[in-house]
Amino acid sequence: MTFDVFKEPEGQAASEDAPADGEEGEKKPVKEETEKLPRSVYINQVVREPRMHFFKVPRLGSYLAIRLEYESCLFEESLDAAVVDYIDVRGRQKEQEEEKKSFIEKAKQGADEDGDADQTMNSEALSSSR
* Each residue's pLDDT tens digit, 16-71: 544 455 455 555 666 666 777 778 888 898 888 888 888 888 888 998 988 877 66
Give the pLDDT confidence score for residue 120 in this predicted structure. 46
pLDDT at 11 over 70: no
pLDDT tens per residue across span 86-120: 999 999 999 999 999 999 999 888 887 766 544 44
Q: What pTM did the predictor assign? A: 0.37
Domain ranges of the chain: 1-12+35-69, 76-129
Higher pLDDT, residue 104 or 126: 104
Own/partner long-range contacts of 36-45 (Cβ < 8 Å, ≥24 apart): 38/66, 38/67, 38/68, 38/69, 39/5, 39/9, 39/66, 39/67, 40/5, 40/64, 40/65, 40/66, 40/67, 41/1, 41/2, 41/4, 41/5, 41/65, 43/1
Give percent above pLDDT 70 in the chain: 65
